Amino acid sequence: MDLARRFDADPPATASPDAKRPQTATRKHRRTRIALAFIAPFGTLFALVFIVPILYAAYLSLFQQKLIGGDTFVGFANYGKLFRDPQFWDGVGRVFRFTLIQVPIMLIFAMALALALDGMRVHGAKFMRMTIFLPYAVPAIVSTLMWGFLLGVKYGLFGSLNDALGTDLDPFAPGTTLISIGLMVTWAFTGFNMLIFYAALKAVPRELYEAAAIDGANEFQVVRAIKVPALRGSLVVTTIFSIIGTFQMFNEPQILPSMVAGSGVTTFYTPNLYAYHLAFTGSQQGYAAALALVMAAITIAVAYAVQIRGLRNASDQ
Amino acid sequence: MHPISSRRAEAGKASGTPTRHSGRARRLYTVGNPRKSTTLTVMTALFTLYCLLPLVWLVINATKSQADFVSSFGLAPGREFALWDNIVEVFGYQDGIFSRWLLNTVLYVVVGATVSTFLAALGGYALAKLDFTGKRVFLFVVLGSISVPGIALAIPQFLLFAQLGMTNTPWAILLPSFINPFGLYLMWVFTAEAVPTGLLEAAKIDGAGEFRTFLQIALPLLAPAGVTVLLFSFVSIWNNYFLPLIMLKDPAWYPLTVGISQWNKLGSTAGNGALIQNLVITSSLLTIIPMVVAFLGLQRYWRSGLSLGAVKG
Amino acid sequence: MGLSRKVRLLSAVLVPMLALAACSGGGGGSSDGDAAGGGGEEQVKITVWSWDGTVAQAVPGFEAANPNIKVEVVNAGSSQDEYQALDNAIQAGSGVPDLVMFEYFAVPYFAIPGKLADLGEFGVENFKQDYVEAAWNDVTVNGKVYALPSDYGPSAMFYNAATLKKAGMNKPPATWDEYYEAAKKVRALGDDHYIAQDTGDLFFLLSLIWQAGGRPFKVDGNKVHIDFTDAGTTKAVSFWQKMLDEDLVNTKITGWSDDWNRALNDGTLATQTMGGWLTSTLPERAPQAAGDFRVALMPQWQQGEKVGAANGGSSFGIPAAAEHKEAAFKFLEHFTHGGGLASRVAAGAFVPNMSVLESEAFQSKANEYFGDQKVGAVLAEASEIVGSGWQYPPFFEWARSIYGDIASPFYTTGKGSLAEILEQWRQRCIQYGNEQGFEVD
């Protein structure tokens, strides 16, 4: 989905017959008023829920809150402090590493599953499609609870696995916790992404396959020439959404410490967790607001870069 | 539009019920009905197992009493089958507050998803079919907002809502849920693709106002997209945890996610809180069931809606 | 034309909806205000935030005696969640409850910036001798009383007599030296057996320091002094360091986790040195160990001594922004001090009230789970010997939240030492405290 192109050109169907008609000033004025009336409910609420809070955050980020002495205006000091804060960058580095590894793995799985299920060469496809999608409907609290048990070394399934194999692996050691979180996140979201890919494949006109069959194309060629290109648009969307999602990682590392010891999860494990901790435990809302805004800027920049790159590749085709 | 979607429905039917064709398939493998592959099936099944395993754990442990839960292996059944007792206890615990949480969640989901879908359709229609200045800026800002971390927003949202006196009321959950920027985007693309401008013009020539044209002509054509956006909203509101966690202090307004987490914390925080893991697990299971039902029931619509967005964008 | 009418209709629907939203929050607050204006004669509703389930037991009796006061007990979250909610409500200026539960360490955090009402105006000074001395000290900040103790956590040693017996011991260790020897014997039982677990339990370490006579925090007004090098602290820290170094403590199981419940249940954790409140929750965590557990005083640093410490416990205070302070105090007095106390004790609350601790009924009641041991007598004694003069810094809530960040690398890798952790923690506390406007050194 070419988010960027949409800014420069209206959707194709918008070039309506109206454009050909001469528009008087009053008519145009009236049309604008009608359009604004349609957009107003969304726009008003959007302003209340998004714009005003963001501006408010920007305002807050210029202040320092003190338990003794109240708020003081500090200018951009919070931002300066943030850029020198090793805990913040530790968290940013962690979500970047996580995103670089987890997102490709998850999307490759999702795509492979969509291709397998779409190819109609799998037994019990309907059941498996639903089952793979199910975890998406499970709230993060519940899923962390379940995985905490399954990966438990002492009483959990993983402990039994260790006993059976004679290994001594710990999924929740400081070096491995991120992998376990990756396992949970992949579990939760592969099905969702798979469904988006699957839907894109289902929209491929059947004549294309029939034509390919007449041309004597083998299965691999069909996948390469028809199916993978059909997935390009979805890939850009799923990539952007996955990146936004992992950058916001919060629930799993927030819940884990109460379940397992020595997992290495700190109060600044991810930027979101750090912001939460600063704002609600440390009473440092100004600093937390600065962190949140910087993180939003980083996310937008990365999502935008991915999208531009994704589109260039798509148009190279 | 229509020929394609009906063909897609046929394809879906064929893939959904492979066994029905198996008699014929032994003789003839066609594009629509190829030979089944054991390797592919096994590999897909392995991933299915990975998805299923935690849910199996949940189901098994929902049948255990608290004493059995602590003393038995996770994937083995307990000494007694306590599922019904657990369900009864879930609904009775703390004066039956679970029912209240369930009703709250239904309220947030139904009102939130319906309103957000309608607003998205209204806005998407205006973006696709009506002209106004500032359209590009509007789109840029709305789409940019998708990238803003929810938690980044939640803190200032809380402070703002607190000043408006809206925290600790359902409005604190409902108002933010009314806005679904991605839904607006989907609706815009759908409207541009699926609603012929000529049809709208014809209706207007017949004397219908813009709003009536939207309601009577455009909205029915947007149904598949609507279901998709509805379900997106449905899931995100149903699973919403962070926003209600900070907005609500009165358990009477909690949604299920926050309520269950509170129950879990009773026993996992140092102190003499009650240990009710059996209720936490059983209530988690009960929480998932409506989601599963909704997805199974609406899956055809929402898949066709998704495919539109994915392929046309 | 048709359209503009529709649009007007739509906005006619939406605008009041928003207005309604804006009102419904404020409206709730103002109607409460009206009730307050009426004083004692009109019906008053007070909101109590508590995650202690026994508080609700005292409500019916109170409402019967005070028909014009209605009490609503709400669980607004446990510990940290509740403090955050209270801070948010105070900051927002709406939805502030009338009575709030605080762990003892959280009292200074709210009291020093003036967020709690001074209970002196209600004459609570007279209550002083009715409570265990150390508990009263916990609710007193800079000479003023800001809360009334509602439950108490005298540190005691819960031990699994069956496990100790298997390791060749017929009585629990009475001193920490004996404890060290016992730990080695328990460890010899096999891989999973440990005398205790510790994954960076700050409250346990502080109770050890407390008992050894260390007083690392000194608070005077806005001045906070932190020092982890006094003799008592050093003694306690180096002892526990030795336990950890020699692998006598399980550093894989974290307290209050599912693993912990299971280890208590199967008897592989031999002792828990913890607050007396463990009494009520141990039976549900370790149902199969019924009859195996007993309670003793904390092991002593010197043979023949009797000094204790506290680990946890909570109190209730009235926010300065509360609307119905007088009604709130009436209920507070009722359930922590007056007629409502008995119903809470019957429901399992462990309270620091002398009237309860010294009563014959409490002292002589046999507890079936603990092999018919008279648990009350042990815990009453443990309460009365708690060392005096302990203080928490006003930013302890923040401090404890980051303690894990600092301690975790040591517990997982063994690199460093407890003394280094505490020094690092002190530095962070000094920095944060000064940023927050205190004078910390």
Query: Within this chain, do residues C259 and C329 fall inside the same structural domain, yes or no?
Result: no
pLDDT of residue B312: 42
Q: Domain residues for C274?
A: 154-310+370-440
pLDDT of residue A169: 84
Domain assignments of chain A as residue spans, ordered by start: 3-60, 78-316
Contacting residues for A118 by C-beta, under 8 A, at least 6 apart: A198, A201, A202, A227, B15
CA-based nearest residue to A268, from B262, A257, B242: A257
Question: C38 in a domain, yes or no?
Answer: no
Report the percentage of chain B scoring pLDDT > 70.
83
Query: Within this chain, do residues C347 and C279 fall inside the same structural domain, yes or no?
Result: no
Query: With an 8 Å Cβ cutoff, are A281 and C253 in contact?
Result: no
Lowest mean pLDDT among A240-249, B150-159, B283-292: B150-159
CB C25 within 8 A of CB B164: yes
**Cα nearest neighbour of B155 on chain C:** C88
Q: Which residues of A touch B53 (CB under 8 A)?
A: 150
CA dihedral sign, ordered C227, C231, C235, C241:
positive
Considering the domain B62-312 in this protein, what is its CATH number?
1.10.3720.10
Q: Which residues of A touch B304 (CB under 8 A)?
A: 199, 202
Contacting residues for B11 by C-beta, under 8 A, at least 6 apart: A202, A206, B32
Residue C7 banded pLDDT, cuts 50, 70, 90:
very low
Please write the tens of the pLDDT for every residue from C360-414: 999 999 999 999 999 999 999 999 999 989 999 999 989 999 999 999 889 988 8
pLDDT of residue B172: 92
Question: C404 in a domain, yes or no?
Answer: yes
pLDDT of residue C254: 87
Contacting residues for B312 by C-beta, under 8 A, at least 6 apart: A233, B189, B190, B193
Looking at the 3D structure of chain C, how many domains does it have?
A: 2
Distances from the Cα of C412 to the Cαs of C253, C406, C409, in angstroms?
A: 11, 11, 5
- Pair of tokens at residue A27: 């008519």
Residue C35 banded pLDDT, cuts 50, 70, 90:
very low
Q: Is residue C297's pLDDT more than 90?
A: yes
The Cα–Cα gap between A83 and B286 comes to: 45
Taking the CB of residue C177, how many other CB atoms lie within 10 A of it?
15
> Mean pLDDT across chain B, nearest whole number?
80
Taking the CB of residue C143, how many other CB atoms lie within 10 A of it?
7
Residue A14 banded pLDDT, cuts 50, 70, 90:
very low
Q: Is residue C22's pLDDT more than 50?
A: no
CA-based nearest residue to A54, from C248, C180, C339, B141: B141
Residue A34 banded pLDDT, cuts 50, 70, 90:
confident
Q: Is residue B89's pLDDT more than 80?
A: yes
Please write the tens of the pLDDT for every residue from B2-24: 333 333 333 333 343 444 444 44
Question: C109 in a domain, yes or no?
Answer: yes
Lowest mean pLDDT among A230-234, C187-191, C284-288, C355-359: A230-234
Find tokens 């209605």 and name the residue. C70
**Cα nearest neighbour of C288 on chain B:** B71
Residue A236 banded pLDDT, cuts 50, 70, 90:
confident
At residue C367's C-alpha, the angle toward residues C364 and C369, to 5°, is: 165
pLDDT of residue B78: 84
Q: Which of B18, B125, B198 shows the shortest C-beta gap to A38?
A: B125
Please write the tens of the pLDDT for every residue from C333-359: 999 999 899 999 888 888 999 999 999
Taking the CB of residue C17, how many other CB atoms lie within 10 A of it?
16
CA dihedral sign, ordered A23, A27, A33, A38:
negative
pLDDT of residue C432: 94
The 3-class SS string of B185-230 reads HHHHHHHHHHCCHHHHHHHHHCCCCHHHHHHHHHHHHCHHHHHHHH
Contacting residues for A153 by C-beta, under 8 A, at least 6 apart: A159, A162, A170, A171, A172, C252
Q: Which residues of B touch A163 (CB under 8 A)?
A: none
Report the percentage of chain B scoring pLDDT > 90.
24
CB A125 within 8 A of CB B17: no
Question: How close, in Å, is residue C287 to chain B by CA atoms?
Answer: 6
Lowest mean pLDDT among B40-54, B71-85, C50-64, C231-245: B71-85
Averaged pLDDT, C220-235 = 93
Lowest mean pLDDT among B147-151, B274-278, C104-108: B147-151
Please name the helix (run of DSSP H) or strand (run of DSSP E) that holds residue C401, with its range, or none.
helix C396-413
CB A260 within 8 A of CB C411: no
Query: Within this chain, do residues C268 and C374 fall inside the same structural domain, yes or no?
Result: yes
Taking the CB of residue A153, how many other CB atoms lie within 10 A of it?
20
Averaged pLDDT, A8-32 = 54
pLDDT of residue A313: 63
CB C282 within 8 A of CB C156: no
CB A32 within 8 A of CB B131: yes
Q: What is the distance between the terminal CA atoms of chain A, rounded to a whole angstrom?
A: 15
Q: Which of A41, A67, A267 shows the shortest C-beta gap to C437?
A: A67
pTM of the model: 0.83
Please name the helix (run of DSSP H) or strand (run of DSSP E) that holds residue B109, with its range, or none.
helix B83-129
Left, alpha or beta for B96 (phi > 0: left; psi -120 to 50: alpha)?
A: left
Please write the tens of the pLDDT for every residue from A239-248: 988 998 888 8
CA-based nearest residue to A140, from A39, A255, A291: A255
Lowest mean pLDDT among A20-34, A129-143, B236-250, C368-382: A20-34
**Cα nearest neighbour of C202 on chain B:** B270
Question: C98 in a domain, yes or no?
Answer: yes
CB C336 within 8 A of CB C74: no
Residue B31 banded pLDDT, cuts 50, 70, 90:
low
Query: With an 8 Å Cβ cutoff, are C253 and A258 in contact?
Result: no
pLDDT of residue B299: 67
Query: With an 8 Å Cβ cutoff, are B131 and A31 in contact?
Result: yes
Considering the domain A78-316 in this protein, what is its CATH number?
1.10.3720.10
Burial class of residue C309, CB neighbours in 10 A (0-12, 13-18, 19+): buried
The Cα–Cα gap between A311 and C229 comes to: 62
Query: Within this chain, do residues C321 and C175 fall inside the same structural domain, yes or no?
Result: no
- Pair of tokens at residue C21: 């939203």
Please write the tens of the pLDDT for every residue from C298-310: 999 999 999 999 9
- CATH code, domain with C358: 3.40.190.10
CA-based nearest residue to C329, from C342, C344, C314, C316: C316
Contacting residues for C107 by C-beta, under 8 A, at least 6 apart: C116, C138, C139, C141, C146, C147, C315, C317, C392
pLDDT of residue B308: 53
pLDDT of residue C3: 38
Question: C21 in a domain, yes or no?
Answer: no
Q: Which of A133-137, C73-77, C140-144 has the highest mean pLDDT?
A: C140-144
Query: Within this chain, do residues C350 and C399 fall inside the same structural domain, yes or no?
Result: no
Please write the tens of the pLDDT for every residue from A55-86: 988 998 999 988 887 788 999 999 999 999 99
CA-based nearest residue to B54, from A139, A122, A125, A123: A139
CB C409 within 8 A of CB C240: no
The Cα–Cα gap between B90 and B81 comes to: 15
Which of residues C165 and B201 earns the better pLDDT score? C165
Question: C26 in a domain, yes or no?
Answer: no
Query: Within this chain, do residues C324 and C200 fall inside the same structural domain, yes or no?
Result: no
B residues 65-104 lying closer than 8 A (beta carbon) to A: 73-75
B residues 250-309 lying closer than 8 A (beta carbon) to A: 256-257, 260-261, 264-265, 268-269, 280-281, 284, 287-288, 291-292, 295-296, 299, 303-304, 306-309
pLDDT of residue A181: 93
CB A54 within 8 A of CB B230: no
Question: How close, in Å, is residue B281 to chain C by CA atoms?
Answer: 13
DSSP string computed for B261-297:
HHHHHHHHSSSS----HHHHHHHHHHHHHHHHHHHHH
Query: Within this chain, do residues C178 and C278 fall inside the same structural domain, yes or no?
Result: yes
CA dihedral B61, B64, B65, B66 (to 10 degrees): -30
**Cα nearest neighbour of C8 on chain B:** B211
Which amino acid is residue C397, in one-letter code?
Answer: E
- Domain ends where: C330, C347, C363? C363
Burial class of residue A184, CB neighbours in 10 A (0-12, 13-18, 19+): buried
With an 8 Å Cβ cutoff, is C393 touching chain A?
A: no
Taking the CB of residue B104, how many other CB atoms lie within 10 A of it?
22
CB C74 within 8 A of CB C97: yes
Please write the tens of the pLDDT for every residue from C106-148: 999 999 889 999 999 999 999 999 999 999 999 999 899 999 9
pLDDT of residue A245: 86
Residue A290 banded pLDDT, cuts 50, 70, 90:
very high
- Pair of tokens at residue C338: 């007056």
CA C25 to chain centre: 32
- Domain ends where: C339, C363, C387? C363
**Cα nearest neighbour of B159 on chain C:** C92
Residue A16 banded pLDDT, cuts 50, 70, 90:
very low
CB B4 within 8 A of CB B292: no
**Which stretches does DSSP call E strand in C41-168?**
44-49, 69-74, 99-103, 140-141, 144-145, 147-160
Query: Within this chain, do residues C66 and C211 fall inside the same structural domain, yes or no?
Result: no
Distances from the Cα of C79 to the Cαs of A8, A46, B110, C255, in angstroms?
A: 52, 34, 33, 16
Q: Is residue A160's pLDDT more than 50?
A: yes
pLDDT of residue B2: 38
pLDDT of residue C421: 96
Which of residues B202 and C49 earns the better pLDDT score? C49
Burial class of residue A263, CB neighbours in 10 A (0-12, 13-18, 19+): buried
Please name the helix (run of DSSP H) or strand (run of DSSP E) that holds residue A63, with its range, or none.
strand A63-66
For chain A, which chains pass the contact test of at least 3 CB pairs under 8 Å?
B, C
Q: How many residues does chain A have?
A: 317
- Pair of tokens at residue A162: 């260790």
Q: Is residue B201's pLDDT more than 70?
A: yes
Question: How close, in Å, is residue B79 to chain A by CA atoms?
Answer: 18
